[in-house]
Amino acid sequence: MFEMSGEEIVDEVKKSGIRGRGGAGFPTGIKWDTVRKTESDKKYVVCNGDEGDPGAFMDRSIMEGAPHRVLEGMIIAGIACGADEGYIYVRAEYPLAVTRLKNAIRQAEGLGMLGDNILGSGFSFRIHINRGAGAFVCGEETALINSIEGQRGFPRVRPPLTVIKGLFGKPTVPNNVETYANIPNIINNGGEWYAGIGTPNSPGTKAFALTGNINNTGLIEVPMGTTLREIIFDIGGGMKNGGQFKAVQIGGPSGACLTKEHLDLPLDFDNLKKVGAMVGSGGLVVVDEHTCMVEFARFFMHFTQNESCGKCVPCREGTKRMLQILERIVAGEGRDGDIELLLELADTICNTALCGLGKTAPNPVISTIKNFRSEYEAHIYDKKCPAGACSKLKTISIDPSLCKGCSKCARQCPVNAISGKIKEPFSIDLSKCIRCGSCVSACPFKAIKEG
Amino acid sequence: MNENFDYSVVESILHEHQCSDKAIIAILQDVQEHYHYLPMELFPYMAKKLKVSEARIYSVATFYENFSLEPKGKYVIKVCDGTACHVRKSIPILDRLRAELGLSEKKKTTDDLLFTVETVSCLGACGLAPVMTVNDKVHPAMTPEKASALIKQLIEEEKNNASE
């Protein structure tokens, strides 16, 4: 571990070609090199375990299942860059990860692998754990650093870059959990070994969280360059309940939707960028024909709008306006020109927001408009939801010829919207109905229709 | 400063974190773990001990979603509305819970302080979607019917406990 100099370690990491697993894919070796070359009395290593993207849980499993590998990666980063202190920032929703990491740190300290003068080498390194408190924006590295410092999790204006002026104003290595977990293997087996896996510009493997309407959900680790078809139909076992593959959402609220035409696209950083998507967190959510893409875009916009920290205007105000427009479209109140307005707002936000959260927030909208424009048009002009998912555009009615007047639906209804006389056809008061569908599943005679 | 408040709890928490203002988030987390919310009566005291302004503590307490300045119910129900749970129909579960408990997006806690219903972005249990938690205990593959049965059971248990 101490045979290599800092420079040699950085060279090996550069040779491996590993790119940050946090989503943007910045080459790790270049980050480390900058921190190493920046003169300072104190430097820090930060591990970003604030895995906030809904639908992604790879980092959770690494922190819970292989915490020592993360620690080892951080120690190596410390040796390479000349840092003697590290922070792991873990999402508050992952209490088990915190416990396991704390255990791992205690064990490593007990063995003399962490602390002062590690194994008599003269190198000292300490690792602290910070728990997040439920702010998605803290996954952005400068916001995360503010949060470690005990501040509101606002992103900082860059430059200065984190690698030059980061935590407590000192040069800081910011990397994701999965990146650190890859480092020990790179050092043990050599950069060339690592570069031989995956594709030339995106070497190595990537963990994805595969979820949604497919048979096998869970975590997968595949070489970069694996196609969506292999992931969804071989590993994922195909669509659940015989559904039709409609789209896969990659990269969470910053990512985009890929459709049938992208099934044979080899997944890596550059190919995804070309089609307007990104690896992002690595969440892969597969949806079938019953999912409305406008509602899906609204869902993500609601998420980012909710998590926007409010520091910069484009993100704070822009995402709010986009959400308003999407909300009115799914409520059947869309107007002519809404699609163009959404795209215009998206363009402005992408180009002017302060941090990654804002810059990528419109991605789900842009990509669903690009790939499923007809669904938007159906909502706006025909007041119809082709997937039959938007409840405001749905009506529920009781077929009087099938209803036997058993009152089962009325008893199930949580808002008392159904009334009638026993043994006569019942009726639904649509002004009270919340379209929850519990009457539909309750009816023994299939007399209640949604559509 | 409120004379009737017991400051010994917060005192020991502050002490554990060396009264460092850098640990504000961790301190507030510990305080919340004890009280299940952040009593604002404590802020002047903490500000003095940490040598920061009350506004700084308030700013941190209001920025992060996990902190609550209002007391929560005995049973905190979190319905996951992450992507995976959302596509597997988490919203009907939420709607049903709210309708049955008389809650809404604004009103999250019942007047008898028994239930708090909130949403959470992702619990990282996407393989078990849709998921909800009751006081951090995970209930996988939920449906509106199962959720409704669960709260009825909890209310029943409460009644039995009260009558005993």
Which sequence spans correspond to the domains of chain A? Answer: 6-195, 205-288, 293-382, 394-450
Does A135 touch chain B if contact means CB atoms closer than 8 Å? yes
Q: What angle do CA A245, A248, A251 make, to 5 degrees?
A: 170
Mention every residue, 6+ apart, whose C-beta is less than 8 A from residue A259.
Answer: A246, A247, A371, A372
How many Å lie between the alpha carbon of B63 and the closest alpha carbon of chain A?
6
How many Å lie between the alpha carbon of A269 and the closest alpha carbon of chain B?
22
Does A249 touch chain B if contact means CB atoms closer than 8 Å? yes
How many Å lie between the alpha carbon of B34 and the closest alpha carbon of chain A?
16
CB-based contacts of A107-112 (< 8 A; 24+ apart in sequence): A107/A68, A108/A68, A108/A71
Which CATH class for the A6-195 domain?
Answer: alpha beta
State pLDDT tens for residues A412-440. Answer: 887 788 999 999 999 998 888 877 777 88
Q: Which of A93, A131, A132 is nearest residue B123 as measured by Cβ atoms?
A: A93
State pLDDT tens for residues A3-54. Answer: 899 999 999 999 999 999 988 889 999 999 999 999 999 999 999 999 988 7
Mention every residue, 6+ apart, whose C-beta is less than 8 A from residue B51.
Answer: B19, B21
Cα(A286)–Cα(B53) distance, integer angstroms: 48
Does B82 touch chain A if contact means CB atoms closer than 8 Å? yes
pLDDT more than 70, % of chain B: 97
Does A85 touch chain B if contact means CB atoms closer than 8 Å? no
Q: Identify the architecture of domain A293-382 in CATH.
A: Up-down Bundle (1.20)
Which CATH class for the A394-450 domain?
Answer: alpha beta
Does A283 touch chain B if contact means CB atoms closer than 8 Å? yes
pTM for the complete prediction?
0.86
pLDDT more than 70, % of chain A: 100
Does A212 touch chain B if contact means CB atoms closer than 8 Å? yes
Q: Identify the architecture of domain A205-288 in CATH.
A: Roll (3.10)
What was the pLDDT predicted at B158? 87
How many Å lie between the alpha carbon of B79 and the closest alpha carbon of chain A?
13
Does B126 touch chain A if contact means CB atoms closer than 8 Å? yes
Nearest CA in chain A to B97: A414
Chains A and B form CB pairs within 8 A to the count of 120
Neighbours of A399 (CB within 10 A): 13
State pLDDT tens for residues A218-242. Answer: 899 999 999 999 999 999 999 998 8
Cα(A246)–Cα(A106) distance, integer angstroms: 47
**ipTM (interface predicted TM):** 0.83
b/e for A140-153, b at 16 or more Cβ within 10 A?
bbbbbbbbbbbbbb
Q: Which spans in A205-264 are helix H?
A: 228-229
CB A386 within 8 A of CB A412: no
CB A346 within 8 A of CB A365: yes
Q: Which of A92, A94, A212 is nearest residue B66 as measured by Cβ atoms?
A: A92
State pLDDT tens for residues B101-125. Answer: 999 988 999 998 899 999 988 777 7
Same fold, A205-288 and A394-450: no
Query: Tokens for A250?
Result: 């990659």
Query: Tokens for A247?
Result: 């789209």
Closest CA to B149 of B91, B97, B75: B97
